């Protein structure tokens, strides 16, 4: 997380809402020989207290969890873009990179295999409903024996969320005019991922 507190103006609820909408992040724990990292889709529980996901059984994180729970971080990234100093319209600026990121920390543990089907239904249901008016896909469309075989390859995990921190680096340390100018330039020339989302958020913040 960026150390400047000006970029930490999002509330816990805003950070969790952002993470919930993204639904995909980088899960990390400390392994015996160094950090273990996995990219995972996930859902938050309705009370926002836990993250639920799944891993392939052979995943090093899943193997490590057989020895018990582990402290974990789930990092969720949003849009980002390079910011040229020329875009601010003011002197004596330097290049930077604007971005959104939310980190959730907590204790990660394996769940019972009997929880897997419910988790998978929750996960697919969350994203299928966003495809409306497409009819929902459900696991019932898969042959029962084939589904059981595939489910044997993965394990469900849950992380209790102890801490949430978000960096919304959107030029809050600049004046509104400079920030809006940079946001407009990012929308047209931005270098990064989801640059239009970053530009929109920068401009929205200047309207508050």
Q: Please spell the DSSP secondary structure of 122-182, one letter per residue.
A: HHHHHHHGGGTTSPPP-GGGS-HHHHHHHHTTEEEEEEEEEEEEEEEESSTTS-HHHHHHH
Q: How far apart are CA 160 and CA 169, in angstroms?
A: 26
Cis omega before residue 165 (within 30°)?
Answer: no
Residue at 107 is within a domain:
yes
- Give strand pairing partners of 82: 97
This prediction's pTM = 0.93
Picking from 207, 184, 200, the residue whose alpha carbon sits closest to that of residue 100 is 200
Residue at 133 is within a domain:
no
Picking from 87, 93, 101, 86, the residue whose alpha carbon sits closest to that of residue 187 is 87
Residue at 146 is within a domain:
no
| CATH number of the domain enclosing 30 | 2.30.110.10
Output the pLDDT for position 207. 57
Residue at 163 is within a domain:
yes
Number of domains in the chain: 1
Output the pLDDT for position 205. 66
Q: How far apart are CA 26 and CA 29, in angstroms?
A: 10
Residue at 168 is within a domain:
yes
Rounded alpha-carbon distances, angstroms, from residue 135 to 122, 132, 158? 16, 7, 29
Residue at 124 is within a domain:
no
Residue at 119 is within a domain:
no
Q: Could you list the pLDDT tens digit for every one of the 208 residues in the chain?
A: 899 999 999 999 999 999 999 999 999 999 989 999 999 999 999 999 999 999 999 999 999 999 999 999 999 999 999 999 999 999 999 999 999 999 999 999 999 999 999 999 999 999 999 999 999 999 999 999 999 999 999 999 999 999 999 999 999 999 999 999 999 999 999 999 999 999 999 988 665 5
Residue at 125 is within a domain:
no
Contact call for residues 38 and 61 (beta carbons, < 8 A): yes
The range of the structural domain enclosing residue 71 comes to 5-114+156-206
């Amino acid at each position: 997380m960026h150390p400047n507190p000006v970029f930490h103006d999002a509330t816990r609820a805003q950070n969790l809402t952002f993470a919930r909408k993204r639904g995909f992040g980088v899960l990390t724990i400390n392994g015996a020989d160094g950090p273990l990292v996995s990219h995972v889709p996930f859902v938050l529980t309705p009370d926002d207290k836990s993250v639920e996901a799944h891993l392939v059984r052979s995943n090093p994180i899943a193997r490590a969890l057989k020895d018990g729970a582990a402290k974990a971080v789930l990092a969720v990234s949003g849009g980002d873009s390079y910011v040229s100093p020329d875009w601010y319209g003011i002197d004596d600026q330097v290049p930077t990179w604007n971005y959104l990121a939310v980190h959730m920390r907590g204790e990660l543990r394996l769940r019972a295999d009997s929880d897997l089907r419910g988790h998978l239904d929750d996960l697919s249901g969350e994203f299928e409903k966003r495809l409306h008016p497409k009819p929902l896909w459900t696991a019932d469309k898969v042959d029962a024996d084939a589904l059981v075989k595939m489910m044997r390859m993965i394990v469900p995990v849950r992380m209790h969320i102890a801490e949430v921190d978000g960096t919304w680096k959107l030029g809050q340390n600049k004046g509104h005019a400079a920030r809006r100018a940079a946001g407009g330039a990012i929308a047209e020339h931005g270098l990064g991922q989801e640059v239009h989302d970053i530009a929109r958020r920068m401009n929205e913040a200047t309207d508050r």
